[in-house]
A and B are shown apart, each in its own frame.
Chain A
Amino acid sequence: AQSVSQHNHHVILSEAASLELGCNYSYGGTVNLFWYVQYPGQHLQLLLKYFSGDPLVKGIKGFEAEFIKSKFSFNLRKPSVQWSDTAEYFCAVIPILTGGGNKLTFGTGTQLKVEL
């Protein structure tokens, strides 16, 4: 079964610092990759997604992620974080399976706190 690992469980940054959150997955076939964000008290929102093509994908709010197939990684980055980026970030994977239900497998999440 596929799994997703997020290495940083809690990250604290100052405003304007750069962010990189790690995500690795275990599945040998074709995958679709996602980053979701959950702001305090709110529901999951899609930040960005990778389906195919350019491995560097740009999402909302200045976030981007790079798919490195050889490393089974999909790290999330932002050059300069803001206080409003304080949230929990989830990496998720859908393996592309014939006839599959396309369930999302989530990582454990990274709690990001941005301090003023």
Chain B
Amino acid sequence: EPEVTQTPSHQVTQMGQEVILRCVPISNHLYFYWYRQILGQKVEFLVSFYNNEISEKSEIFDDQFSVERPDGSNFTLKIRSTKLEDSAMYFCASRSGGLIPEQFFGPGTRLTVL
């Protein structure tokens, strides 16, 4: 069964450093998403991406964040200058086109900013 994969599973970085979180969505899917879950809190939407552009973003997704689909298979989330409060689990999700909005989630990347 196809699944969304994410790498790395755990990333530790120093405050102010850039990180890139990688996702490989399910191959025939057209819509891509990033969510995050700060420890003990709910899962929050960050950004959605369709047709090579951002379709919606939350207020969390400020200028420090960017997304890219560089090669038709990977979907990346970049944080330019990490802050302590960026420490969270980051989930990638994808869905196919059409009217069924079911999203399939990856296993997540735990980002720890020191």
Contacts and interface: CB of A to CB of B under 8 A. Distances in A.
Contacts of B44: 106
A58 to B, nearest CB: 16
A46 B100 CA distance: 14
Chain B interface residue count: which class?
20 to 34
B110 to A, nearest CB: 10
Given A43-B106, A43-B107, A103-B48, A108 B31 contact: no
Interface string B39-54: 0011111001010000
A100 interface: yes
A32 B78 CA distance: 30
Contact of A90 (B43, B102, B107): B43
Interface of B: 31, 33, 35, 41-45, 48, 50, 55-56, 58, 91, 93, 95, 100-108
